Amino acid sequence: MNGAISCHISLKFNRFPWHKFATGAESVIRYPEFIPDRKAPRKEAGYFMNSLVIRGGQRLTGEIEVSGSKNIALAILSSVVLAEEPVVLKNVPKISDTLIKTHLLEVFGAKIVWDGDNLHIDCSELKAGDADEEMVRSIRTSFYMIGPLLARIGKLDMPAPGGCKIGARPVDLHLKGLAALGANIELDGGVYRAFSDKLRGTEVYLDKPSAGATQHIMSTASLAQGTTTITNAAMEPEIVALGHFLNRIGANIEGLGTSVITIQGKQSLSGGTYKIPADRIQAGTFLLAGAITGGDVKVNDILPEDQTAVVNKLREAGAMIETGADFVRVAAPSRLNHVHVVTMPHPGFPTDIQQPMAATLCMADGLSYIEETIYESRIGHIMELNRMGAKITQNGRTANIEGVNELRGATVYASDLRAGAALCLAGLVAHGETVVKNIHYIDRGYESIEKTLQSLGADITRVMDSEPQKVL
């Protein structure tokens, strides 16, 4: 995969047992761009893949629910190996990332059974599996399995991680924390080789509140002897949910949602049942879809507090916001006002929403600013939005967005998951037809995004390309 965007799922995965994930009449083979059928038509230039065709101009209205959280599901799937008894996860999104993660669990000896959106996992007989490099590189959170696996089996090899190409995401905080717990980890030719005789509780200070490092260290410490304290811990809802799951299966974790988390290590963890909460990033995306179209969208069965930063900016921009115990409603005027957005760790404005927010502000009056403080290269959407008639200039990590009267339909290419979502939002208001390609990125985090948007009145269709695309 040299020179490739590491977020892409390798076409070498023809041995991936997709047939195991079929549920009733529906099968995950509906993601042909990930694992092309060996018998499917192809040319030397590339592979036939899906695109989204959007005819803009529809005002979105209605009520929806969103699927389970991608990020929470991936965090729990990294930590589920800690459980010595069966675990049932409910409301698991059946997206490419979760499918790959479950296959990786099988490599290390887990038994996996899908039943609709319920996932049955038995990690009672783990082994030091031989993880495929291309599979591991396709999903960054594979790296987060090192600590929990080490706590269970004492020794393993794991290829270096991949993920969407949105900037540097170093793992040094993970490695420092795991070393403090007693792990020995070396990078040898692109493979992390890890072993440990015994993990012991300790004090860990994070130089910055990394969500990934907090998750990784917290879960690993659940089986370390003694007490572990993580100071300057991240406070994202995904960490709180992971902690709740770990406590459900017998861990003893306190301080969730604060900057200091304390873990009392246990000799073993059992099993249990846990429901994955709704995806806050999906919810925010669809609320913005309502806002950009001057529509009226209500998202049900969510935690409204997870949308605080987004709805406050939409309110500032002139939208009407209504919240209840488990819903958020956004009713927007035909034109929003300009706003200034700065991405920050939770409870600040989420970095995963800044690209869809950028698309929304393209149709706002005046000059808006979005400052990205988390990832330095989360800019793949800018050039594509400008091809549609947007006026966005970049100054360092700040995007200056001058509102325009109209966006124009065009053929555009998603460069990562959230950039793809941003292009879909732009297509909803663009004059004419927009074709979004590289939607395998979108499928990493949105389960059939077109169906949800269709339910709100959008004119959007998933189609098979007539010409093969090169794999990026």
Q: Per-residue confidence of the chain (472 residues) as pLDDT tens digits? A: 333 333 333 333 333 443 333 333 333 333 333 433 323 333 333 455 899 999 999 999 999 999 999 999 999 999 999 999 999 999 999 999 999 999 999 999 999 999 999 999 999 999 999 998 888 888 889 999 999 999 999 999 999 875 454 444 578 999 999 999 999 999 998 899 999 999 999 999 999 999 999 999 999 999 999 999 999 999 999 999 999 999 999 999 999 999 999 999 999 999 999 999 999 999 999 999 999 999 999 999 999 999 999 999 999 999 999 999 999 999 999 999 999 999 999 999 999 999 999 999 999 999 999 999 998 778 889 999 999 999 999 999 999 999 999 999 999 999 999 999 999 999 999 999 999 999 999 999 999 999 999 999 999 999 987 766 554 4
Residues 370-409: b if buried by 16+ CB within 10 A, e if exposed: bbbebbeebbbbbebbebbbbebeeeebbbebbbeeebbb
- By the 8 A CB rule, do 252 and 278 touch? no
CA atoms within 13 A on the CB side of 270: 8
Based on the residue annotation, tell me whether 164 is a catalytic residue of this protein: yes
pTM for the predicted model, two decimal places = 0.88
- CA terminus-to-terminus distance, the chain: 10
Alpha carbon distance 164, 420 (integer Å): 12
Alpha carbon distance 451, 462 (integer Å): 9
* pLDDT for res 135: 87
Q: Whose CA is closest to 472, among 164, 73, 77?
A: 164
Domains and CATH numbers, the chain: 41-67+278-464 (3.65.10.10), 70-275 (3.65.10.10)
- Number of CB atoms found within 10 A of residue 24's CB: 7
Q: Whose CA is closest to 75, among 257, 171, 213?
A: 213
Residue 249 has phi, psi (to 5 degrees) of -95, 15
Secondary structure of residue 100 in the 3-state scheme: helix
* pLDDT for res 273: 98
Q: How is residue 349 written in tokens?
A: 């404005």
Length of the chain: 472
* pLDDT for res 43: 38
CA atoms within 13 A on the CB side of 262: 5
Secondary structure of residue 389 in the 3-state scheme: coil
Among 7, 123, 164, 424, which one carries the catalytic annotation? 164
* pLDDT for res 80: 98
Alpha carbon distance 281, 260 (integer Å): 25
- Number of CB atoms found within 10 A of residue 184's CB: 13
Q: Whose CA is closest to 78, among 67, 68, 89?
A: 89
* pLDDT for res 134: 86
Angle ∠(282,286,288) on CA atoms, nearest 5: 115
